[in-house]
Amino acid sequence: QQQVKQSPQSLIVQKGGIPIINCAYENTAFDYFPWYQQFPGKGPALLIAIRPDVSEKKEGRFTISFNKSAKQFSLHIMDSQPGDSATYFCAASLTGNQFYFGTGTSLTVIP
């Protein structure tokens, strides 16, 4: 059973556009929601994370929106650049010891 559902599977946007990646979860006990960015041949790198007591978190061009009642959270990338082209994974954590990952979104930003 997929604990965290992620969509879309792939996304293509023009430079300057705002790609949005969505994730949904079922377990209300999850208490930490990170996003990871992965380039080909590299391990995932932590991008930004949020706790369930906050509805939005912004770091640079990256923003997480969190809807606790809907059990959904999303990643927005403002003013996207070709260098943002990568695979993005959302995750949900239970007490920091168990992490459940979404299936990933391949983002392509066209110059």
Partner 1 sequence: GAVVSQHPSRVICKSGTSVKIECRSLDFQATTMFWYRQFPKQSLMLMATSNEGSKATYEQGVEKDKFLINHASLTLSTLTVTSAHPEDSSFYICSANLGQSYNSPLHFGNGTRLTVT
Binding site for partner 1 (CB under 8 A): 31-32, 34, 36, 41-46, 49, 51, 87, 89, 91, 93, 95-97, 99, 101-104, 106
* Alpha carbon distance 94, 74 (integer Å): 19
> Residue 66 or residue 89: which is nearer to partner 1 going by CB?
89
At closest approach, how far in Å is the CB of 16 from partner 1?
26
Q: What is the DSSP letter of 90?
A: E
At closest approach, how far in Å is the CB of 67 from partner 1?
19
98 by Cβ neighbours in 10 Å (0-12 / 13-18 / 19+) ranks as exposed
